[in-house]
């Protein structure tokens, strides 16, 4: 299939990606991918190895400037913005390989995540003004709250690098949550998790959507997780759109089955 998929014009989209393309020299890593992420939903982006999923994320989060196409957050075009500017607009991401401050405790990682909110100026920090102390208290409260929500209270004082992999993944998501995301981009959050940890992750994602109203775009190879948690699934292959629909539609799609079988 070569033509880009049509956007669902009826959905109240938080994120709209239209005909996105990213070329590296002669390689079309992404070529005409369109997708739409409605508010408070979980949309999954799947595809065989090398399909272009992470490249799409790198474009969405400003790590790459797309060769062409548009990315709209709310009503605002963001495809030309830097990664810092996009993060400030509330698009937060995790990476395939966990990126934490491994020598710091879990709690300290969550304090560092609030650094920009704490940063009230050199002098107020030095003099520990009432305002600074109040912000510091709030930051500690928030860190404790998210440790609890992520079932990490017991390991809050342990160095992040010594935590079980599933705990590190949850800590990374907590760090994003502290920045009050409008959109969470999760790149293979179940990679390296055991079945029990994957079940916990599934429950957590459902909770973030249903109780916290968080909007998620998920890249994931664990099909059981994708099929059970996604409101909508977009499939790409060799940089191009292949299919989109509900889990049932994707499960039965002949093009998708062929693309995945071709991989094994």
Q: Measured in whole angstroms, how far is the alpha carbon of residue 196 from the centre of its chain?
A: 21
Between 150 and 244, name the residue whose CB sits nearer to ligand ATP. 244
Contact (CB, 8 A) for 187 and 93? yes
Residue found by looking up tokens 């940089």 in the block: 239
**Dihedral-angle region of residue 27 (phi above 0 means left; psi in -120 to 50 means alpha; beta otherwise):** beta
Structure tokens at 254: 């002949």
We find the least distance from the C-beta atom of residue 208 to ligand ATP, in angstroms, to be: 23
Alpha-carbon gap, residue 211 to 215, rounded angstroms: 11
Between 2 and 116, name the residue whose CB sits nearer to ligand ATP. 2
Can you give the binding site for ligand ATP, defined by CB under 6 A?
24, 27, 29, 47, 49-55
Contact (CB, 8 A) for 47 and 57? no
Between 51 and 110, name the residue whose CB sits nearer to ligand ATP. 51
Contact (CB, 8 A) for 187 and 95? yes
Q: Name the 3-class secondary structure at 115.
A: helix
Between 90 and 192, name the residue whose CB sits nearer to ligand ATP. 192
We find the least distance from the C-beta atom of residue 119 to ligand ATP, in angstroms, to be: 32
Between 52 and 156, name the residue whose CB sits nearer to ligand ATP. 52
- Nearest CA to 39 out of 167, 209, 177, 170 is that of 209
The number of residues making up the chain comes to: 264
Q: Name the 3-class secondary structure at 145.
A: helix
Between 56 and 204, name the residue whose CB sits nearer to ligand ATP. 56
> What's the alpha-carbon Rg for the chain, to the nearest Å?
19
Between 142 and 230, name the residue whose CB sits nearer to ligand ATP. 230
We find the least distance from the C-beta atom of residue 223 to ligand ATP, in angstroms, to be: 13
We find the least distance from the C-beta atom of residue 259 to ligand ATP, in angstroms, to be: 12
Which parts of 54-124 are beta strand (E)? Answer: 68-73, 76-77, 91-93
We find the least distance from the C-beta atom of residue 63 to ligand ATP, in angstroms, to be: 9
We find the least distance from the C-beta atom of residue 55 to ligand ATP, in angstroms, to be: 3
We find the least distance from the C-beta atom of residue 23 to ligand ATP, in angstroms, to be: 9
We find the least distance from the C-beta atom of residue 9 to ligand ATP, in angstroms, to be: 27
Alpha-carbon gap, residue 161 to 168, rounded angstroms: 8
Q: How many CB atoms lie within 10 A of CB 1?
A: 12
Between 50 and 206, name the residue whose CB sits nearer to ligand ATP. 50
């Amino acid at each position: 299939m070569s033509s880009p998929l049509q956007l669902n014009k009826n959905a109240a989209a938080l994120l709209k990606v239209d005909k996105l393309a990213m070329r590296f020299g002669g390689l079309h890593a992404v070529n005409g991918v369109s997708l739409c992420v409605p508010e408070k939903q979980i949309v999954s982006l799947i595809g065989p190895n090398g399909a272009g999923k992470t490249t799409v994320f790198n474009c969405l989060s400003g790590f790459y400037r797309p060769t062409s196409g548009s990315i709209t957050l709310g009503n605002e075009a963001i495809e030309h913005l830097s990664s810092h500017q996009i993060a400030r607009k509330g698009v937060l991401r995790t990476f395939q390989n966990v990126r934490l401050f491994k020598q710091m405790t879990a709690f300290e990682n969550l304090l560092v995540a609030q650094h920009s909110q704490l940063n009230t100026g050199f002098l107020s920090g030095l003099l520990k003004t009432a305002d600074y102390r109040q912000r510091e208290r709030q930051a500690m409260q928030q860190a404790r709250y998210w440790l609890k929500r992520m079932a990490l209270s017991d390991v809050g004082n342990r160095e992040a690098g010594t935590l079980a992999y599933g705990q590190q993944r949850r800590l990374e998501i907590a760090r994003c949550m502290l920045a009050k995301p409008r959109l969470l981009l999760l790149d293979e959050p179940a990679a390296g998790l055991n079945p029990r940890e994957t079940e916990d992750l599934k429950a957590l994602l459902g909770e973030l959507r249903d109780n916290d109203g968080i909007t998620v775009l998920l890249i994931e190879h664990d099909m059981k997780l994708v099929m059970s948690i996604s409101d909508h699934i977009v499939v790409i292959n060799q940089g191009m759109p292949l299919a989109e629909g509900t889990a049932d539609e994707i499960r039965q799609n002949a093009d998708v089955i062929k693309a995945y079988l071709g991989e094994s």
